[in-house]
């Protein structure tokens, strides 16, 4: 199973990378060259492309054409990349390595890094709105999808999660607080990517709710494993600096539970994700296998 899902993810990652390359192949008018260079540097730096893959796969599961959903899927990668650029800034996690390459502000300076992140955030709305509007997806689905998309990004989503993760006055020393950070900072974008894909495909409410629950538990499992890898993996394997959480004295699933219990909880969240799929009356083997794979990943 692990080889199958690994090969499937690699195939989908390559496809998403090809589509991103096409989008980035020509600079749109009026964008300053250095800003565009900074945006494209981080957007094309690699990565799992998990969020766009989830969006595409959920839509396809519910009968949609991936090419119609593609603009929204790419928007999730734009938003995710923007959050990584800002996350790495000296005022945030102050990291110099991301996806195996120097972080954006190391190459372009803090000013351009901030503006590149802002620009990708805005482009994550502009690009799909323009392209989805030219397709066959009903307007009411697009509006509903963007409502979830924007909530995932805003103050109750990844922006709020980043505050909880970095602001000392917001810290709470308990497991519930670590779960809250994980839900807002990591799980919410994974959850919304799979949910939005289902919505754009016209999935019934029961299936949308099932994908939403699946995405939440998948995102939590992903973050728990991320915390484990931060203390067990090398920079070469991770593509980013390990041990940052300990250096910054952050509460993580490992500091709260220890490695063994964190592993158990990751598997538990994976099982909850898989259970949520029982309400979807369509083949969901990809999502079933993905939940196991991500909870056991080593990079």
Comparing CA positions, the residue from 92, 99, 55, 58 lying closest to residue 77 is 55
Query: Does the structure show a pLDDT above 80 at 159?
Result: yes
Q: What is the mean pLDDT of residues 141-170?
A: 95
User: CA torsion angle for 96, 100, 104, 109 (degrees, to 10)?
Assistant: 50
Q: What is the pLDDT of residues 109-133, one digit of tens each?
A: 999 999 999 999 999 999 999 999 8
Q: What is the pLDDT of residues 188-203, one digit of tens each?
A: 999 999 999 999 999 9
- Two structure tokens written together for 144: 């509903």
Q: What is the mean pLDDT of residues 67-74?
A: 97
Q: What is the mean pLDDT of residues 245-252?
A: 75
What string of H, E and C letters represents the secondary structure of 245-285? Answer: HHHCCCCCHHHHHCHHHHHHHHHHHHHHHHHHHHHCCCCCH
Would you state the pLDDT for residue 133? 85
Query: Does the structure show a pLDDT above 60 at 1?
Result: no
Length of the chain: 299
CA 143 to chain centre: 21
Query: Does the structure show a pLDDT above 90 at 14?
Result: yes
Query: Does the structure show a pLDDT above 90 at 239?
Result: no
φ/ψ bin of 206: left (φ > 0), alpha (ψ from -120 to 50), beta (otherwise):
alpha
CA gap 115, 159 in Å, rounded: 16
């Amino acid at each position: 199973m692990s080889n199958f899902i690994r090969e499937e993810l690699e195939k989908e990652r390559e496809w998403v990378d090809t589509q991103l390359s096409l989008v980035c192949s020509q600079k749109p008018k009026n964008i300053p060259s250095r800003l565009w260079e900074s945006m494209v540097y981080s957007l094309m730096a690699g990565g799992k492309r998990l969020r766009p893959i989830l969006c595409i796969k959920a839509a396809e599961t519910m009968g949609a054409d991936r090419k119609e959903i593609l603009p929204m899927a790419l928007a999730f990668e734009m938003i995710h990349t923007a959050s990584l650029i800002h996350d790495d800034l000296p005022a945030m996690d102050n990291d110099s390595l991301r996806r195996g390459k120097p972080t954006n502000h190391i190459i372009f300076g803090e000013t351009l890094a901030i503006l590149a992140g802002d620009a990708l955030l805005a482009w994550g709305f502009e690009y799909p709105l323009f392209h989805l509007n030219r397709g066959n997806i009903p307007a009411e689905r697009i509006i509903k999808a963007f409502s979830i998309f924007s909530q995932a990004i805003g103050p109750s989503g990844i922006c709020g999660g980043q505050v909880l993760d970095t602001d000392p006055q917001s810290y709470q020393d308990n497991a519930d607080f670590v779960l809250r950070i994980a839900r807002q900072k990591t799980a919410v974008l994974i959850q919304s990517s799979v949910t939005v894909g289902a919505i754009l495909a016209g999935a019934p409410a029961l299936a949308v709710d099932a994908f939403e629950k699946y995405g939440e538990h998948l995102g939590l499992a992903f973050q728990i494993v991320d915390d484990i890898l931060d203390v067990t993996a090398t920079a070469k394997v991770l593509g980013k600096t390990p041990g940052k959480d300990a250096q910054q004295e952050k509460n993580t699933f490992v500091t709260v539970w220890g490695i063994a219990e964190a592993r158990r909880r990751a598997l538990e969240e994976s099982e909850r994700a898989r259970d949520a799929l029982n309400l979807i009356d369509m083949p969901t083997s990809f999502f079933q296998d993905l939940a196991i794979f991500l909870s056991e990943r080593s990079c």
